[in-house]
Copies of this chain bind each other. A is one copy, B any other.
Amino acid sequence: MSTEAKLQELFSRSEELEALRGIGDGLAWDQEVMMPKKGGPLRARQISVLASLSHERLTDPALGELLQELSSDGELNEWDAASVRELKRQYDKGVRLPSDLVRELALTGSLAYEAWVEARQKSDFAAFAPHLEKMLQLKRRQAQCLRNGGTLYDALHDSYEPGMTSAQLDELFAVLRPRLSGLLGRIQESPNQPDRGLLQRPVAVDVQNDFGRSVLSAMGFDWQAGRLDVSPHPFCVGISPLDVRMTTRYSETQLGRAFFGMIHECGHGLYEQGLEAARFGQPVMSSVSLGVHESQSRLWENVIARSRAFWSHWLPKLAERAPNLSDVALDDWVHAVNLVEASYIRVEADEVTYGLHIILRYEIEKALVEGELEVEDLPEVWNDKMEEYLGIRPGNAAEGVLQDTHWSQGLVGYFPTYLLGNVYAAQLHAKAQQDLPDLEQQIATGRMRPLLDWLRQKIHRQGSLYRPVDLISRATGSAPDSKHLLDYLESKYAALYRL
């Protein structure tokens, strides 16, 4: 078989795998956004069957042979070589996992998710604990299958941020934690606090929705290739680059929650829409890591949409639709949307405390996986750490350990990628400012496409051509480093709070 024919065979198989992944993401979206209440158990069976089929196709020995042959084929161009590398990485992981484990993970995840929804509503950790216990057993089994010299936790984290170890995370977080805590302390002591009431002024849900959509359009989101709906826990899935679905949630007196949530998910959505449709289905044309994905959402949500330049254009437009905001001064508004405070809920945390929420989860899930922490002790440990890092103690499980959906769905080792996203976002933005000298001016006049085009070129269109760390290094000219995030935060908040 010629190299060309082998590649065609490879792409035909990867298109099939990609189609199954897209179907699975569509089912997950449907489950959160559309599915009637009683549909859960039979949906769980569907998801489990699909996961099992995908696993079977991924681990087909014929695919293994093909990948083996192509791996040592010197004729491949860099795109095709990256496709072979990416699919081989998944194949190598896949063959280490027995089919029954894959099926059980999917089934348990679907049922545990339903249990988590109910447990969170009732703030009843005990109702969720057996599901979490079961899930952790499965995840440890999975980690034992996947581990490759490193720790159990590394084996799980590697699926989300390929190549990044917990030793590296420890190092990054060791720099971040004290400086974030220090910054938080200085902010809390500042006499210059924003008026938090500004963001609590009631704005009708329709207006929030309409205004949010107009901003997303200006960012470049293609509504013919995507949609926005409502779900309790906002998220974004790319069923394909031409079918990207985001969700948000509304409350009349919490404009910021819906608005910044929309911008955040749209950052993810623009990455998915930015994958090259013509090459889609080839292993190289997929997002490279969750950390890089999160860098896109965080860059738009925090660095852009919480900037003075951004609101100098958009605040008057918002006030046109919401007249009870027309008396708000720009600087007061910008300070208010950058309110920093110790709070319970990660997804509503500001960008200074956010990292502390992540470091807490990272430490806890690592201990759970490594068997250093029991599920029953979890609420206590969670609350103790909240007190230590943020100085506050949750009053119940819903605002504590039950707030996130991740563990219920088996997403263990996932949380650190959120903080990596912040690190990468600040670094990308610093470089974008160099490459686009009038970036701030563009944002201040509502023109966001030049930044999108820069991201398209530097990140989105690259797919998985390079490993995450290499991608960031190529895009910015230097290896990932938390100093960009800390510089950005310290200088921004020194100005806002006049520190």
Query: Contact between B39 and A243 (Cβ–Cβ < 8 Å)?
Result: yes
Tell me the residues in window 23-80 of chain A with beta carbons closer than 8 Å to chain B beta carbons. Answer: 23, 26-27, 30, 34-43, 45-46, 48-50, 53
Nearest opposing residue in chain B for A46, CB measure: B19
Q: How far is the CA of A340 from the CA of B222 in the complex (A)?
A: 46
Q: Does A168 contact B (CB under 8 A)?
A: no
Q: Does A367 contact B (CB under 8 A)?
A: no
Q: Does A421 contact B (CB under 8 A)?
A: no
Q: Does A277 contact B (CB under 8 A)?
A: yes
Task: Select which of B37, B53, B226 is within 8 A of A36 by beta carbon.
Answer: B226
Query: Contact between B23 and A225 (Cβ–Cβ < 8 Å)?
Result: no
Task: Select which of B30, B48, B223, B240 is within 8 A of A42 by beta carbon.
Answer: B240
Q: How far is the CA of A36 from the CA of B45 in the complex (A)?
A: 27
Chain B residues within 8 Å of A22, by CB: 42, 46
Q: How far is the CA of A26 from the CA of B48 in the complex (A)?
A: 15
Query: Contact between B38 and A20 (Cβ–Cβ < 8 Å)?
Result: no
Query: Contact between B39 and A240 (Cβ–Cβ < 8 Å)?
Result: yes
Q: Does A280 contact B (CB under 8 A)?
A: yes
Q: Does A15 contact B (CB under 8 A)?
A: yes
Task: Select which of B30, B40, B45, B241 is within 8 A of A281 by beta carbon.
Answer: B45
Query: Contact between A243 and B280 (Cβ–Cβ < 8 Å)?
Result: no
Q: Does A239 contact B (CB under 8 A)?
A: yes
Query: Contact between B15 and A45 (Cβ–Cβ < 8 Å)?
Result: yes
A42 touching B277 in the complex, CB below 8 Å, given contacts A30-B30, A34-B34? yes
Q: How far is the CB of A51 from chain B (nearest CB, A)?
A: 11
Q: How far is the CA of A40 from the CA of B225 in the complex (A)?
A: 10
Nearest opposing residue in chain B for A48, CB measure: B19
Chain B residues within 8 Å of A23, by CB: 23, 27, 46, 49-50
Chain B residues within 8 Å of A27, by CB: 23, 26
Query: Contact between B36 and A26 (Cβ–Cβ < 8 Å)?
Result: no
Q: Does A350 contact B (CB under 8 A)?
A: no
Q: Does A148 contact B (CB under 8 A)?
A: no
Q: How far is the CB of A47 from chain B (nearest CB, A)?
A: 9
Query: Contact between A39 and B242 (Cβ–Cβ < 8 Å)?
Result: yes
Q: Does A491 contact B (CB under 8 A)?
A: no
Chain B residues within 8 Å of A225, by CB: 36-39
Q: Does A2 contact B (CB under 8 A)?
A: no
Q: How far is the CA of A286 from the CA of B100 in the complex (A)?
A: 27
Task: Select which of B30, B53, B239 is within 8 A of A53 by beta carbon.
Answer: B53
A160-188 interface code vs B (CB 8 A; 1 in, 0 out) = 00000000000000000000000000000
A41 touching B227 in the complex, CB below 8 Å, given contacts A34-B34, A50-B23? no
Query: Contact between A36 and B281 (Cβ–Cβ < 8 Å)?
Result: no
Q: Does A399 contact B (CB under 8 A)?
A: no
Q: Does A434 contact B (CB under 8 A)?
A: no
Q: Does A16 contact B (CB under 8 A)?
A: yes
Chain B residues within 8 Å of A241, by CB: 42
Query: Contact between B243 and A43 (Cβ–Cβ < 8 Å)?
Result: yes
Chain B residues within 8 Å of A41, by CB: 242
Nearest opposing residue in chain B for A15, CB measure: B45
A1-23 interface code vs B (CB 8 A; 1 in, 0 out) = 00000000000000110011011
Chain B residues within 8 Å of A45, by CB: 15, 19, 281
Q: How far is the CB of A100 from chain B (nearest CB, A)?
A: 12
Q: How far is the CA of A222 from the CA of B39 in the complex (A)?
A: 11
The residue in A40, A41, A46, A225 that gathers the most chain B C-beta atoms within 10 A of its C-beta is: A46
Nearest opposing residue in chain B for A49, CB measure: B19
The 5 A-B residue pairs with the shortest CB-CB distance, nearest first, are A39-B243, A42-B240, A19-B49, A38-B242, A38-B225
Additional A-B contacts beyond A38-B222, A42-B242, A45-B281 (16; CB < 8 A): A22-B46, A23-B46, A23-B50, A26-B27, A26-B30, A34-B34, A35-B243, A36-B225, A36-B226, A36-B242, A37-B224, A42-B240, A42-B241, A43-B239, A43-B243, A46-B239
Listed A/B pairs (7) with beta-carbon separation below 8 Å = A23-B46, A23-B50, A35-B243, A36-B223, A39-B225, A42-B280, A43-B243
